[in-house]
Amino acid sequence: MSTIEPASSEPASSESTTRSLPCVHCGLATPCGEGTDPQTVFCCNGCLGAYQLIHGWGLDDFYALRDQVSSTAPDQVRSDVTRFNEFDREEFLGRSKPVDQPDGRKLSNLAIHGLHCGACAWLIENAAGRTPGWESARVKMSDHTVCVSYNPVEIPLSRIAALLSKLGYEVAPLTEVPDQHFWIENRRLLTNIAVAGFCAANAMWIAIGLYAGEAWGIAESHRIYLRAFGTVLGIVAVVFPGRTFFAGAMAAIRTRTPHMDLPVALGLSVGTLAGAVNAVTGRGEVYFDSLAVLVFLLLLGRWIQFRQQHRAAQSVDLLMRITPQHARRVNRDGTNDLVPWQRLTTDDQVLVLAGESIPVDGKVLSGDSMIDRSLLTGESRGVAVTEGDSVAAGTVNLMRPIEISVDAIGQETRIGKVMQSVEAAAITKTPIVQLADRIGGVFVVTVTLLALATFLFWSKESVSVAMGNATSLLIVACPCALALATPLAIAVAIGRSAKRRILVRDGQTLQHLSRGDTIWFDKTGTLTEGRMRAEFVHGNRDAFAVAASVEAHCVHPIAEAIVRAAKQQGLVIFDQAELCGIEVGGVVGRCDGRGVYIGSLGFLRSNDVTIDTAMLDAINRCLDHGTTPVVVAIDGQAEAVLTVTDNIKPDAIRTISELTKRGWQVGMLSGDHPAIVDRVAETLGISKENALGGLSPEDKLECIKKAQPGQVVMVGDGANDAAALAAADVGIAVRGGAEVSLQAAPVFISSGHLGSIVELIDGAKRTRWLIIATFAVSLGYNVVAVALAMTGYISPLVAAVLMPISSVSVLALTLLCPIFGKQSS
């Protein structure tokens, strides 16, 4: 496909012959060289962009219609594209600076103004799919932002911004004050409501005068004057504050995407046209009092929805729930002020008292303390920090006050970046969301056809009645709540789970968890404490010291237990020991020139280690007592047997029992000896058939695959069980840190409490029922409202009052529903 470029605006050289050809889009005479193809002449990039948009969407009939209406071109054309050129400058974009992706695409998050319902999001996302180079758009209704993914080689960000403007939505870079765009949009809506309210109030007073005149008599000149003045007020209300509905309708027509503004604009157009005709002819009703009040009530309902959505956005702001919203900024004179974290800069210093959460990423300037880093790293014990050490937002200062220099705030912090990946789940299009979108589109088309049928049916009685009933139908049948119900319920559920330290990365996870099937648990560190205790059982104690010397170079719960036990017994840790390798079932090392193998019986046998009868007896005694035997071999000969025990978590038995009651089939996958696994399973109430031991990571993965199809959940370590967690329909990580765990599993329980799994499953079920309930309410409301409008039981004014009720009902049900019990908020 050849590339079409706009004609150059530079003067032609004296050697070249020039001529003027009309711009393909606007018709403006454009200088170009001899031999130029007339079909490639564009006066500016604005006309080129408009032509590509119209041609790409198959709307070329526009040009035929234009030529029929007017045979002359406009005298001058203003290119709107140039005002969007700033979007290609990183300095202008600030926080909206595009982020490079591995495949060459770019992502940019922008604030977007003019959104009012799910249909708006739907329209923008459809436009992205129809535009070459614009890969996708994800609209987040809760905070009025859009994430655009595009190929910079094919389309610049400025052209996307221009296209969104044509659709009736203005985009702007994100600001340091997250609520700024909300207040701008709020002010715009209130201004429109004020103008509409002024027109409606005065139009109603004029209508009262006309009605009184009909009853008591009125001079014809006064009657004409009042009708004319009322007509002007009605037209002002429809054309100025009511233009937002027509902008949405035109955008729907351009993109061939059904939009709720389409029937509203059609209803206003029918009423305005009929009223204007009656005003000019002096016969019939002018309707402009009703139209002005109608616009006022529609805008008022839209504003109520807008405010409720902002409240919903605050309820799902995950970063707000994890980190403090204020910080003690240290002044130059040594005093400190409590300020919102948004006002901090990288030049500031903050004071964090004992027991407070750290609000920023930075370095300790003064003070010594201990911090709890469990949210980020999974460490259950406090970590000492002193001057020069780095600390992260979301961690907790445990002991003494510390001063911190600010390196990053908000979404630029480590936890902020994690929360961004989690918040993306709030706009994930799960199958039920896609179903709601499809129903919403069909509903808009159906309503428009039903309005036409209603007009034709009632026109036999009276054109005035027919028009009123059709207008009522177009106004009251708003599919906004249908599009709003599901994503809002998912967003609120994710936000409330985050408050309970349960991070959900994928919205579809809630759907899987709402239907009970099979759930597998890793044993060590998941069902058990993960803090092991080692004891010497049999053999040479010097071998115990050698084992501790090698294990000192390994980071693993069993290694830590062996080293800790050796130190407690006063054994010498040899400096010359080294760790040569970590394999499935054990480790290989060297100490003082001797080869050392430490691990399970199977591991030692696979390495041709000789094990005498006394050693085998000691191993069997460990297994009989339900503990894990660890064999130490030096130079190919088993020298000592150690035992490692790991206590079961206090809430493990209750969690397994609760899951079984809820219909889940519970199983256990472990790399530990099968006899140990059986003993733990018996304690927990898990059947032996579902307690599998001696498994490698590959074996665990195979077990997960065999259990599918069906809803399969895997609960384990975010790092050690990564393959099994990723292969399951839902992976739940209960150990490790948020950054690593959320890469392997869509759910991370930062508290490590198994009871949170039951909470999450119950919350998922309530979320599913909430979606069904809100979906039924919105769909049932629309069906009843349409029936009432078709049968003539509601007027356009009543329709305008009823229209926002469905959306407000959905918002109220969602925000008031106790998804995680009475304590959630």
Q: Would you give the DSSP letter of residue 72? A: S
Residue-by-residue DSSP string for 724-774: HHHHSSEEEEEES-HHHHHHH-SEEETT--THHHHHHHHHHHHHHHHHHHH
With beta carbons less than 8 A apart as the criterion, state whether 511 and 747 touch: no
Does 608 qualify as catalytic in the annotation? no
Q: Would you give the DSSP letter of residue 525? A: I
**Token code pair at residue 490:** 């998912």
Compute the distance between CA of residue 723 and CA of residue 667 in angstroms, rounded to an integer. 17
**Token code pair at residue 56:** 């790409």
Tell me the residue type at 791: T
With beta carbons less than 8 A apart as the criterion, state whether 692 and 667 touch: yes
Q: To 5 degrees, how large is the angle CA 157–CA 161–CA 163?
A: 115
Please name every residue paired with 581 in a beta bridge, in sequence order, or none if there are none: 588
**Token code pair at residue 448:** 């428009």
H, E, C per residue of 240-263: CCCHHHHHHHHHHHHHCCCCCHHH
**Orientation angle between helical segments 755-790 and 652-661, nearest 10 degrees:** 30
With beta carbons less than 8 A apart as the criterion, state whether 544 and 640 touch: yes
Tell me the residue type at 807: S
> 3-state DSSP helix/strand/coil percent for the chain, to nearest 5?
50, 20, 30
How many C-beta atoms lie closer than 10 Å to residue 726's C-beta?
A: 15
With beta carbons less than 8 A apart as the criterion, state whether 558 and 598 touch: no
How many C-beta atoms lie closer than 10 Å to residue 264's C-beta?
A: 27
> Would you call 89 helix, strand, or coil by DSSP?
coil
Give me the catalytic one of 261, 348, 437, 522.
522
Task: Please list, in sequence order, all residues whose beta carbon lies within 8 angstroms of the beta carbon of residue 313, skipping any fewer than 6 positions away.
Answer: 142, 143
- Give the residue numbers marked as catalytic: 522
